[in-house]
Each structure stands twice: as structure tokens, then as C-alpha cells.
Amino acid sequence: MIVAVPVDARERVYHDNPCTSTMFALYEVSGERQEVCYRHIETRINPWDKYKGKMLCDPVMKACACENASSQNPHHISEHYVLLEAIGKCDVCIVDQYCLNTLYVMKNVGIRIHKIPPFVKTPSEAIEHFIIGTEITQYLRHVHQV
């Protein structure tokens, strides 16, 4: 399974709307039941950052507060789909906050959202939080990075 974690320029977990993150760290999580491994595959730039899009500097977007009018606007909704350039092949996106449009985009393409608490600071901690909190583990003995 491929898991995406939004990160900032210093590669720490980004806790605002993932649409406004700088990059996404992609991890492969494998194994099941008692021993689960994960490894960093690559870090991809958020397409909004790559193309100097306005979404990154919009405080409304950063705060996950798509206004009611903009949340119904087809153009605004489609702006959220740009994320799929970076994380479209992922199975899970690990986030702290997200707007409803981000949720709908992820659901429409089959990417599950796993919510993490604000004290998680590194992508490794986020992955371990995800592994421990999901159904892929049972009687877990080892979680380790490969």
C-alpha cells in the first residue's frame, strides 16, 4: 500500500489543508498482522507549488475553510483534483486537517484519509500512527522502517 504524508519545505508533517502543503512524502507500507514495514519511496512537489498556484498562499484554503459559495463552485472543486498529480496512485493520505472538497476528491478516486493528531511532527511518526491505528495490524509486535 502507498501512503502519502503532506510535508513542509523542511519535510516535517504539514498540519494544515494538504492542498496547501509544499510536498508529499510517499511511503510503501507492507506486511500484516504481527510485523509491518515501511519505507520512503520519494517526495513529490505539490503541483500547486510547482506551478506557483494561488491555492498555496490563500489563507482560506490553508485553514480548510472553503466558503460555502466556493465549495459549490465547479472550478474551485476542480482545483482540489490537482493534488492527484502528486498522490493519485496512493491508497491513503495521512492528514491533520482537510476541507470537505479535499475529502470528496479523495473519496472519488479511492484514497482513504487517515487523520492524525497535531502533535505528530515527522512523516515516520505519522506512518507509525497510521499503522498502529488501522486494521492492517493485529497483535502487532514490530513496526520498523526498512
pLDDT tens, position by position, for the chain (146 residues)? 999 999 998 999 999 888 888 899 999 998 766 677 889 999 999 888 776 655 555 555 555 566 565 666 777 777 788 889 999 999 999 999 888 888 888 999 999 999 999 999 999 999 988 887 776 655 555 555 65
pLDDT score recorded for residue 33: 64
Query: What are the residues whose beta carbons fall under 8 Å from the beta carbon of 123, sequence distance 6 or more?
Result: 5, 7, 11, 12, 13, 25, 27, 40
**Cα atoms in the Cβ-side hemisphere of radius 13 Å centred on 122:** 4
To which H or E segment does residue 38 belong?
strand 23-45
Look up the CATH number of the domain holding residue 56: 3.30.420.130
Which pLDDT does position 44 carry in this prediction?
A: 94
Domains held by the chain: number: 1
Burial class (CB within 10 angstroms; exposed 0-12, middle 13-18, buried 19+) of 9: exposed
Expressed as residue numbers, the domain containing 26 is: 2-145
pLDDT for the residue 129: 86
- pTM across the whole model: 0.82
Cα–Cα distance measured from residue 13 to residue 27, given in angstroms and rounded to the nearest whole number: 13
Rounded Cα distance, 19 and 35, in Å? 32
